[in-house]
Every structure is written in C-alpha cells, then in structure tokens.
C-alpha cells in the first residue's frame, strides 16, 4: 500500500494516540534516516499502529470528504505543458488529433465488417445449434458414435473396468423411467451462472423448465446494427407466446461531440416484447393486502393492491429510453445491467451452453483467476529467494523497517 502522507496534507489528523504532522513524513525513498517515534517500538507494533491510524482516518467523514475533494480536483488537471507549447507545435498536435478522428472512423468500419462476419458465421453455426436443440428436446436421439466422449479420467481405466461400469450403468438406466432429451437444460444453465441465477426467482423455475432453446438473430444486411435474443418455449400453463424476444440496438460510429471516446460498438437501447400471460399466472405482478384505519370513525378496511414482483421475466420489459436520452439513476442502472446480460447471453451462453450446463465453463473462469493468483504467489516467492541469496541480506534488519515503509 502506498504511503498516504501526501493525501493526509488536506486535513488535520488528530487522534488520542498520536498527532501526524509534516515533520514525521518519511523521505521519498523510505530510507534508514527516518526518525522513529519510539526507539523501543518493534516493527510489528509500528505496523499495527499504522493500520489503526489508517482505519481511524477512513472512518472519519471529514477526512474522506477532504480526500475525495482532493482526488476530484486531480481528474483532468493539466500539467501546463500543453498550454506552454509554442503555437506552431500546437498546430501540429491538432493535426495529430485530426488523424486520430480518421483512425476512429476506420475502426468503426472495421467493427461493421466484424458484424458482417458474425452474421455470416452465425449461419454456419446454426445447423449445429439446431441439432443441439433437437437433442435437448428429444426430437433427435444421438447415435452411439455421437455420444462417445473420452474424458481425461477414463484414459487410465482398463477395458474390463469400462465394460463392467457400462453394464452397471445400463442396468440402472433400465430400472429408471426413460427421460426424454435433457430435462431442465436451460434452467440448469441459468442456475449455474451467477449473473443469471440472481434474476431467477423460485416462481420462475417452473416456467423456465419449458424453455426449449435460445437463439441469436443478427440484423439483415443494410439494416442498422442490432441483434435479437429469441427464447423459444414449449406450450405451458403460464403464457401463450411460443417465442419471447429482446432486441438490442447497437451503434458503431464515433460520436461527433466526443470522437476520441469511441471504443467499438456499444448498445444504445433495447426493446422487449409483450408476454400474453394466462389468467392468474403473471409472475411479474403480485397482489398485496393492506389494512387502512379511518381517522374519524376508527373503522378498518382491507385494500387489495397489485404491485410489481421480482422475476426473470421482467427482462422482457426494460425501461424505455426517452428521445432526450435522459434517464434517472435507477433506470440507467437497470439498463446498464440489462446490456451486460444481453451481451453475455449472446457471446457466452448461447455458443457454449453445454459447458455452462456441466459447469466446465465456470471452472475455466475460476481457473483464470487462480492462475493470476498463482503468478502473484510465484513472483513473491522469487523475491524471497532473491533476498535469501543476497549475501548482504539481513532478515533482522528487514523486520526493523518502519511501518510506513512496509506499506509502500
């Protein structure tokens, strides 16, 4: 942790245990000439005191406000160098900025062509996705050859053990009722992914058991860039729709008012669909009863009121973006989360659904984080080894370093 002394200058910090002033600030290199407050204080005690002081600071609203004000003042602050340049140099910088705008325009064309490629390859993927749907929904039964999958753990198992396991498995299958397809495939996918499972309520699950397939459809050639998520359902007791849709409108061109902010296509808005709920089956609404007492007569009456209810199916009723583009904070937060979910469904869930069903895709994500942690651990280990191999290295001297230096 970097030393906080420079930020502490913006507020007076007084505690029952110590007063921190400019004179106690460590030198830039945290060298050995830093004055110790207490000569008999151990490095561990000093480190503990420093942590306590930091906690006290972070719990003080005035200090936090002062720190935030200082940090806000640093955002976008010019060093003065650009302003000090000669006029002829500034003209050349403007020329570079014009070149940057042209780069952004070329990048926009690049992403438009990427969208065209996505549309082209979506047509190549679709037969495979259709077959996947047929297997899930018991329309097609895969052959023995199509079902063969050699897992890593099976490589070391003898043929005899494999045959024995196969016979036992077949015997168990005969005793059980033969299920059709892969039951609750998409519901399991949703429950395995945190981003989606947070949306799914208990009353949504019986409906999502009827979800047959999710498809991604791209806008046609010449149309504005967009994609549509199609949720295909089998006949059920909840609504009459066979397909629920959610369309995301995208933009892949620099904003004239801020061309340098362009960083590829962005979702500009989305449109859901109307769900034709059967009577009494709308899980996005709930009925509550309230008792009201008359102020004068003292009589009590019960009032029934219908209010919105948490449900995955609110996903198909996003907030409408006004023509002005101005949204309140709640609507803006909902749309931001909505865009993230739509992008995740399109990019990850639909193409790799079986891996989210089995949990393998989630394990891969976890492995990525673990690898980062292992790399950090390796670096720490290398540093420790270097210190031990250093003939001038003295562990006692290391422990005696001031707490402030340890935090840097």
DSSP for residue 274: -
Cα–Cα distance for residue pair 264/95, rounded to 1 Å: 23
Strand order in the sheet with 226-233: 211-218, 226-233, 243-251, 266-271
Radius of gyration of the chain (CA): 31
Cα–Cα distance for residue pair 95/84, rounded to 1 Å: 18
Position 402 pLDDT exceeds 60: no
Structure tokens at 49: 């005191």
Cα–Cα distance for residue pair 136/188, rounded to 1 Å: 12
- pLDDT reported for residue 331: 78
Q: Where are the domains of the chain?
A: 1-28+37-74, 88-142+180-367
The 3-state DSSP class for residue 246 equals strand
Q: How many CB atoms lie within 10 A of CB 114?
A: 13
Position 54 pLDDT exceeds 80: no
pLDDT class of 242 with cuts at 50, 70, 90: very high
Please write the tens of the pLDDT for every residue from 207-218.
999 999 999 999
- pLDDT reported for residue 303: 84
**CA 297 to chain centroid:** 55
- pLDDT reported for residue 4: 45
Q: Are 321 and 327 contacting, i.e. CB atoms less than 8 angstroms apart?
A: yes
Domain 88-142+180-367 bears CATH identifier 3.50.50.60: no
pLDDT-above-70 percentage for the chain: 64
Q: Are 198 and 338 contacting, i.e. CB atoms less than 8 angstroms apart?
A: no
- DSSP characters over 328-376: -HHHHHHHHHHHHHHHHIIIIITTTHHHHHHTHHHHHHHHHHHHHHHHH
This prediction's pTM: 0.63
The 3-state DSSP class for residue 59 equals coil
Q: Please list, in sequence order, all residues whose beta carbon lies within 8 angstroms of the beta carbon of residue 338, skipping any fewer than 6 positions away.
A: 270, 315, 318
Please write the tens of the pLDDT for every residue from 17-48.
444 444 444 444 444 444 444 445 566 666 77
Residue pointed to by tokens 């052959």:
143
Please write the tens of the pLDDT for every residue from 372-395.
444 445 554 544 445 545 545 554
Please write the tens of the pLDDT for every residue from 272-320.
999 999 999 999 999 998 888 777 777 888 888 889 999 999 999 988 8
Structure tokens at 33: 């000439």
DSSP for residue 242: S
Q: How many CB atoms lie within 10 A of CB 127?
A: 9
**Helical segments of 235-293, H only:** none
Please write the tens of the pLDDT for every residue from 247-260.
999 887 777 777 77
Please write the tens of the pLDDT for every residue from 153-198.
555 555 666 666 666 666 665 556 678 899 999 999 999 999 999 9
Which candidate, 135, 188, 139, places its Cα nearest to that of 349? Answer: 188
Please write the tens of the pLDDT for every residue from 100-152.
888 888 888 888 888 888 888 999 999 999 999 999 999 999 999 999 887 65
Residue pointed to by tokens 């980062």:
372
Structure tokens at 54: 């930091």
- pLDDT top residue among 261 and 201: 201
Q: For 281, list phi and psi in degrees, rounded to 5.
A: -115, 5
pLDDT-above-90 percentage for the chain: 34
Which candidate, 93, 46, 159, 158, places its Cα nearest to that of 399? Answer: 46
- pLDDT top residue among 378 and 64: 64
Cα–Cα distance for residue pair 313/281, rounded to 1 Å: 12
- pLDDT reported for residue 203: 96
- pLDDT top residue among 206 and 71: 206
Q: For 226, list phi and psi in degrees, rounded to 5.
A: -165, 170
Give the containing element (helix H, strand E) for 302.
strand 300-308
Q: For 270, list phi and psi in degrees, rounded to 5.
A: -150, 155
Position 199 pLDDT exceeds 90: yes
The 3-state DSSP class for residue 262 equals coil
Cα–Cα distance for residue pair 331/322, rounded to 1 Å: 11
Q: How much is the mean pLDDT over the chain?
A: 76
């Amino acid at each position: 942790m970097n030393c906080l002394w420079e930020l502490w200058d913006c507020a007076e910090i007084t505690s029952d245990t110590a007063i921190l002033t400019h004179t106690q600030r460590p030198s830039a290199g945290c060298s050995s000439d830093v004055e110790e407050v207490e000569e008999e204080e151990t490095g561990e005690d000093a480190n503990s005191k420093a942590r306590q002081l930091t906690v006290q600071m972070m719990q003080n609203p005035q200090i936090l406000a002062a720190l935030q004000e200082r940090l806000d003042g640093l955002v976008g602050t010019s060093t003065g160098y650009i302003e000090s340049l000669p006029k002829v140099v500034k003209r050349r910088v403007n020329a570079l900025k014009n070149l940057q705008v042209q780069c952004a325009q070329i990048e926009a064309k690049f992403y438009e062509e990427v969208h065209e490629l996505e549309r082209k390859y979506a047509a190549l993927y679709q037969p495979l996705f259709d077959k996947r749907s047929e297997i899930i929904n018991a329309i097609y039964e895969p052959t023995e050859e199509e079902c063969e999958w050699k897992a890593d753990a099976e490589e070391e198992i003898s043929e005899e053990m494999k045959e024995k396991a196969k016979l036992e498995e077949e015997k168990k299958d005969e005793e059980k009722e033969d299920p059709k397809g892969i039951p609750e495939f998409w519901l399991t996918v949703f429950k395995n992914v945190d981003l989606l499972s947070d949306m799914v309520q208990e009353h949504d699950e019986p409906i999502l058991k009827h979800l047959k397939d999710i498809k991604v459809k791209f806008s046609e050639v010449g149309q504005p860039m967009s994609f549509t998520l199609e949720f295909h359902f089998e006949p059920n007791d909840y609504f009459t729709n066979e397909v629920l849709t959610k369309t995301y409108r995208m933009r892949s061109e620099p904003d004239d008012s801020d061309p340098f902010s362009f960083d590829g296509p962005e979702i500009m808005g989305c449109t859901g669909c109307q769900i034709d709920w059967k009577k009494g089956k709308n899980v996005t609404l709930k009925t509550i009863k309230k008792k009201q007492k008359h102020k004068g007569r003292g009589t009590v009456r019960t009032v029934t009121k219908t209010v919105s209810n948490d449900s995955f199916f609110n996903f198909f009723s996003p907030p409408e973006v006004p023509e002005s583009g101005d949204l309140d904070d709640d609507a803006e937060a909902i749309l931001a989360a909505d865009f993230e979910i739509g992008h995740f469904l399109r990019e990850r869930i639909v193409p790799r659904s079986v891996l989210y069903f089995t949990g393998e895709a989630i394990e891969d994500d976890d492995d990525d984080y673990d690898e980062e942690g292992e790399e950090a651990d390796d670096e720490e280990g290398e540093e420790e080894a270097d210190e031990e191999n250093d003939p001038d290295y003295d562990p006692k001297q290391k422990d005696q370093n001031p707490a402030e230096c340890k935090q840097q």
